[in-house]
Chains A and B, each alone.
Chain A
């Protein structure tokens, strides 16, 4: 692209984004097997939307030239680690922020290599949409299925099947269609998803940010058009109110001057995991089961009448109740389950295998409890989705259904209903590493 046109596009894009950002933030990730072109696609998307600064462009141009490449290697934009550039693969997720005239985006460019699945899972946990890439020459392979399964497990219901490197198969529609069919057949076994398939060439930018006129047999959207148009998820607004308490604040208000009496202020700090909270609402405090009314909602000096999901507030209540970190304020009608046993799907992320008799620490919302793996029910074969009953243990990248026994109760919802109160991580109490992630079912 002509640099001047590029500059004009960039400026226009950001101005529009500031003034009329239409459909809210979209967080998406790339996924799929190693070398399928994920980083190239992101680089190309950023460039074609005017989101690559001149110095970044100059730097990757120079590196590409030094390597004797005929064209710019777009993956250099996100492959920021020295080892990644040396090996030509992505190792850990890169986060990039960009906007177009219609929307703001946060991208997580995930690695495809199986060894780094934990980093893909990290990126997927906060995403609304996943772009699953497939190399048109290779078709759907195990790693494509693994990533599709993990995206599904982590609650991503918007999928883009990007059939990439179409330039290397002469844009043959039959190749594209058979990949789409195979992928849809696999994904439909997982549950309900919305899948948009797009044939593209990340390298050439065909169907990335602009429509490919040259492909008469495809009349669907370009990748960018699709990303701009899908509605953003605000499920958390629709679910019952949950507020895990992070910290309790106690201060003396008033200074006793002019006859005013000092009064203790007590407030509960936390982020609304879901739902809405209004001044005057009744809440139930877990685990004590006591109820109180909200008398104040604050963000520093700013007093709110109402707070919605994801806002971090200080709540004050109309009576003194014993509340500490790890407790939860809840909608009194629709309560979470209080339980010392959970069933969950767990992805094992550590190189150290699961110690079936070992004690682990579970971090769930702001509460950490000791736990034992009571029962390993089955392991999932990501290729066939078959269940292998009663595995002995779990090794890195295994996905299994388990029962956990907890020393203290947790207040939980199903992950499908609530991403915050339905998820947890498993910490090894000796090494302190995060060894697994789980979703409650």
Chain B
């Protein structure tokens, strides 16, 4: 065999190489945080980014079991299927799961709703801060990605939050090379985003490569929706059809799964991960632009929420 073809055989598949590097970076970050922080926790919602992060944690710790507890802030407005999936995964990966409910913060009075059906998505921050204080967490790992949203594109991998959970975007710590500074004053904590540099496509390709189980909502299914502008609003007890709207049953899937009141599906016939990858490469809309009812309110909606302690 001549040397040229030999070289070609030695070359890893380029996109496999890309996923390998993203994986290696995430494992490094997960290990740094668990080595340096006293009491880290992983925020776990049952969405695809959480699923990838949990799988990465498994690989980061192996052959030890995952040395992190999971924390879910439950708005009470989640799909039953996602809750069942969450519990199943916590058991499969042998992780302790803490659930804290926005409902309890409402009862206590720390969350006050303007009307009973209001989206509880942004109120999660209050319950999250209460949980952080209750357990004394000094690091919260999450699956947020920079390509999701323009304010997130600005955030450090290790991001400092004060006692109020506030992010100060104008005064972030320098973060050079892979030298992460996880130290904070008492009362403060860090949010850590090991998959910051992953795109939506990277996430799906990794899910395919690693055969990661997801809630069925991510795959095409039949669902009742109403059309509001270019958004498909799922018809649920929290988001009923308004008078005069036509309810249609269509084939669709979710690109992000979160609080029922603020995530919308997209029309899709993708039934496998490979189908989703194909759709993702063709898609003209961003993940949140197509599906989030909460970011559309204003240009700075995400940044505003993040300043208040949101992920």
Q: Tell me whether A and B are bound partners.
A: yes
Question: Which of the candidate stretches A215-223, A280-288, A430-438 sits at the interface with the other chain?
Answer: A430-438
Q: Is A122 touching B176 in the complex (CB atoms < 8 A)?
A: yes
Report if A425-B181 is in contact (Cβ < 8 Å); known contacts: A122-B176, A247-B31. Answer: yes
Given A249-B63, A312-B27: A420 and B35 interface contact (C-beta under 8 Å): no
Chain B residues 1-41 with CB under 8 Å of chain A are: 14-15, 17-18, 20-21, 23-25, 27-28, 31-32, 34-35
Q: Map CB proximity to B onto A405-432 as digits: 1 under 8 Å, 0 otherwise.
A: 0000000000000011001110100011
Contact partners of B15 in chain A: CB under 8 A: 18, 21
- Asked if B64 CB lies within 8 Å of chain A CBs, one says yes
B151 within 8 A of A: yes
Which chain A residues border B199 with CB–CB below 8 Å? 97
> Roughly how many angstroms separate A301 CA and B62 CA in the complex, as a whole number?
8
Q: Can you list, as one digit per residue, whether each of B142-173 has a CB less than 8 Å from chain A (1) or not (0)?
A: 00001101111110100000000000011011
Q: Is the CB of B34 within 8 A of A247?
A: yes
Identity of the chain B residue whose Cβ is nearest the Cβ of A301 in the assembled complex: B62
Chain B residues, CB < 8 A from A299? 23, 27, 59
Contacts A83-B169, A310-B24; is A265 near B14 (CB within 8 Å)?
no
CA distance A95 to B193 in the complex (A): 14
Whether the pair B151, A81 counts as a contact (CB closer than 8 A) is yes
> Is A118 part of the binding interface, using a Cβ–Cβ cutoff of 8 Å?
yes
User: Which of the candidate stretches B108-116, B211-219, B282-290 sits at the interface with the other chain?
Assistant: B282-290
B181 touches A312 (CB 8 A): no
Question: Is residue A246 contacting chain B, with contact meaning CB distance below 8 A?
Answer: yes
A177 shortest CB reach to chain B, Å: 36
| B244 proximity list for chain A (CB < 8 A) | none
Q: Of all chain B residues, which has the CB nearest A62? A: B299
For the complex, what is the distance from the CA of A430 to the CA of B66, rounded to whole Å? 32
Asked whether, in the complex, the Cβ of B154 is within 8 Å of the Cβ of A92, the reply is yes
In the bound complex, CA of A437 to CA of B177 (Å):
10
Q: Which of B253-293 contact A (CB under 8 A)?
A: 281-286, 289-290
Q: Does B183 contact A (CB under 8 A)?
A: yes
B174-A434 in contact (CB<8A): yes
- Cβ contact within 8 Å between B170 and A91: yes
B35 touches A53 (CB 8 A): no
A125 within 8 A of partner (CB): yes
Contact indicator B181/A246 (Cβ below 8 Å) = no
- Bound Cα distance A77, B60 (Å): 34
Of the candidates B34, B35, B177, B184, the one whose C-beta lies within 8 Å of that of A125 is B177
Give per-residue flags for B44-69: 1 if the beta carbon is below 8 A from chain A beta carbons, else 0. 00000000000000111111100000
Which residue in A83, A92, A94, A425 is a CB contact (below 8 Å) of B179? A425
B62 contact set on A, CB distance < 8 A: 298, 300-301, 314
Known: A21-B14, A55-B290, A83-B170. A125 touches B183 (CB 8 A): no
Query: Who on chain A is nearest to B26 by CB?
Result: A312
> With an 8 A cutoff between CB atoms, is A343 at the interface?
no
Measured between beta carbons, the chain B residues less than 8 angstroms from A246 are 28, 31-32, 35
CB distance from B203 to the nearest CB of A (A): 12
CA separation between A93 and B174, bound complex, in Å?
10
Contact check, A363 vs B284: say whether CB atoms are below 8 A apart: no
- The distance in angstroms between the C-alpha atoms of A147 and B84, with both chains bound, is 52
The CA of A253 and the CA of B216, in the complex, are separated in Å by 35
- The distance in angstroms between the C-alpha atoms of A270 and B60, with both chains bound, is 10
B185 CB-CB contact with A under 8 Å? yes
- Any B CB within 8 A of the CB of A271: yes
Whether A366 contacts B153 by the Cβ 8 Å rule is no
Known A-B contacts A7-B284, A325-B35; the reply to A420 vs B14 at CB < 8 A is: no
Q: Please choose the segment from A9-17, A129-137, A187-195, A370-378 that sits at the chain B interface, where 4 or more of its residues have CB less than 8 A away.
A: A9-17
- CB-CB under 8 A from B59, the residues of chain A are 299-300
Nearest Cβ on chain B to A359's Cβ, whole angstroms = 14
Q: How far is the CB of B4 from chain A (nearest CB, A)?
A: 16
Q: Does A387 contact B (CB under 8 A)?
A: no
In the bound complex, CA of A5 to CA of B156 (Å):
36
Question: Which chain B residue has the least Cβ–Cβ distance from A80?
Answer: B150
- Give CA–CA (A21, B303) in the complex, Å: 34
A residues 93-151 touching B (CB-CB < 8 Å): 93-97, 104, 106, 118-119, 121-122, 125-126
Q: In whole angstroms, how far apart are the Cα atoms of A249 and B286 in the complex?
A: 40
Please tell me if B197 contacts chain A, counting CB pairs below 8 Å.
yes
Min distance, Cβ B209 to any Cβ of chain A, angstroms: 12
Asked if A54 is at the interface (CB within 8 A of a chain B CB), the reply is yes
Closest to B152 in A: A80
Decide if A349 is an interface residue (CB 8 Å cutoff).
Answer: yes
Is B178 an interface position by the 8 A CB rule? yes
Q: Is A356 an interface residue (CB 8 A)?
A: no
Nearest opposing residue in chain A for B31, CB measure? A246
Chain A residues with CB below 8 A from B20, complex form: 311
A199 at the interface (CB under 8 A from B): no
Name the one of A14, A78, A85 contacting B281, with C-beta atoms under 8 angstroms. A14
A:62-86 near B, CB below 8 Å: 63, 77-78, 80-83, 85
Between A and B, 18 residue pairs with Cβ closer than 8 Å are: A54-B284, A80-B149, A82-B304, A92-B154, A92-B170, A94-B150, A96-B147, A97-B147, A125-B177, A299-B27, A300-B58, A300-B59, A311-B24, A312-B31, A425-B174, A425-B176, A434-B173, A437-B176
**4 interchain residue pairs of minimum CB distance:** A80-B150, A55-B289, A125-B176, A312-B27
With A81-B154, A271-B27 given, name 15 new contacts (CB 8 A).
Answer: A21-B14, A59-B299, A78-B150, A82-B300, A83-B170, A91-B169, A91-B170, A96-B153, A121-B174, A249-B61, A270-B31, A312-B27, A419-B177, A432-B185, A434-B181
A interface list, Cβ under 8 A from B: 7, 10-11, 14-15, 18, 21-22, 24-25, 53-56, 59, 63, 77-78, 80-83, 85, 91-97, 104, 106, 118-119, 121-122, 125-126, 246-247, 249, 251, 253, 265, 267, 269-271, 298-301, 310-312, 314, 325, 349, 363-364, 366, 419-420, 423-425, 427, 431-434, 437
